[in-house]
Amino acid sequence: MNIMKMMKQAADLQRRMQEKQEALAGRTVEFSSGGGMVTATARGDLTIERIRIDPKVVDPSDVEMLEDLVTAAVAGALSAAREMAAREMAALTNGDGSSRRHEAAVPVRPRAFPMLEPLEPLIRALARLPGIGRRTAERIALRLARERNRATARELAEALRGLDETIRLCSRCGAVTTSAEDPCRICRDPRRDTRLLCVVEDPADIEPIEKSGAFRGRYHALLGKLSPMRGESAGNPRFDDLRRRIAEEGITEVILALNTDIESDATAAFLLELLAPLGVRVTRLAVGLPAGSGIAYSDPVTLSAALRGRQPM
C-alpha cells in the first residue's frame, strides 16, 4: 500500500475520531440505583453531568446507605458511557472506514467480581429494594452466604414466603394486613371515630400517627402522590376510592397527613379541589417548629411555615 495513502487514511481516521469524541461529549446515558432513588447522568466523555436523589432516600442517620446508592448510580452511569463510547469508536474502524449510526447505550449493571457471580441474582434482587445500593446488597449477600448453618437465610426465605402468601394491603384503607384480616383491625375497630378520615401517602405513615395516640379515626393510604416524574397521575384509583368512602361512610372531616415536599403540596391542592363538591371539611397537619427544637437551628422554610400556621394563646 502506498505510504502516503496510509498516512492520509490515518489522518482522516484521527480527524473522525476527534469529531466523534466531541459528539459523544454531548450525548448522555443514565443509570439508577435503589429502584430509581438515585439516578446518575453521565456524558460520553465520561464525566458526570447530574445526580438526582429522591427526597425519600435522604436520611441523616444513615449516610452510608446514601453513599452506597450514589456510588452504584455513578459506577453504572460511567460503565454505560464507556460502552457507548467504545461502540461509537469501533464504528470508525469497521473495515470500510465508514461511520455507522448507533443508538444510545442502554444502561448496564456493574460487572460482578468472579467470586460474587453465584450471588448475582440475590444481589440484584436486594439492590432493587429502597435504601439498598449495590455495595450494601453485596455485603448482605456475602453475610448470608458465609453463615455455616444458614439459619438467617432460611428464616429470611420463610419470612418472604409468608409475605407472598399471606400479607396484603387492606382493601379499604390500604394498611398492611393479612388475608385473614381484611378489612384490617383498625377498619373493623368499633371504637374508632368513623367521622374522621386521615389520608396518608404510604401505609408506613400510619404507624407513627398511631404511636402518637392523638388520632382515633380511620385511615386512607393513597399508595403514592401526584408525581409526573414517576408516572403517578390523577388517575390513581385510590382517589376515586376516597370519594366513594366519604359518600358511603358518613365522613365529616378529611385530615391530609401528607409530606411537605412539592409533590405532596400538589397532591393536597388536588385533593382539596376533588373533595370540594362533597361538602366535607378538609384539613391538613400543621407545619412548624419540631418539639424541643430552637429557632436558631430551624431553616427558613420551616420558620416561614411556622409563622403562617401560628395560633392564638
The pLDDT tens digits for 118-146 are 888 898 889 888 878 888 888 888 888 88
Class of domain 189-308: alpha beta
pTM of the prediction? 0.58
What pLDDT is stored for residue 31 in this prediction? 79
- Which amino acid appears at position 42 of this protein? A
Q: CA triplet 73, 74, 76: central angle to 5 degrees?
A: 65
Distance in angstroms (rounded) separating the CA atoms of residues 122 and 132: 13
Residues of the chain with pLDDT under 70: 1-15, 17-18, 21, 24, 34-35, 56-69, 88-115, 228-234
The two domains 3-111 and 189-308 share their CATH topology (first three levels equal):
no
Residue with cell 378520615: 197
Residue 229 has what pLDDT? 57
Burial 244-273, CB ≥16 within 10 A → b, else e? ebbeeeebeebbbbbbeeebbeebbeebee
The pLDDT value given to residue 106: 45
Q: Which pLDDT value is given to residue 101?
A: 40
Where do the structural domains in the chain lie, given as residue ranges?
3-111, 189-308
Predicted pLDDT at 228:
58
Instruction: Give which of 206, 203, 205, 210 is closest to 174, Cα–Cα.
Output: 203
When the candidates are 3.60.150.10, 3.30.470.20, 3.40.640.10, 3.30.1310.10, the CATH number that belongs to 3-111 is: 3.30.1310.10
Specify the pLDDT at position 103.
41
pLDDT at residue 234, rounded to an integer = 65
CB-based contact 198:217 (threshold 8 Å): yes
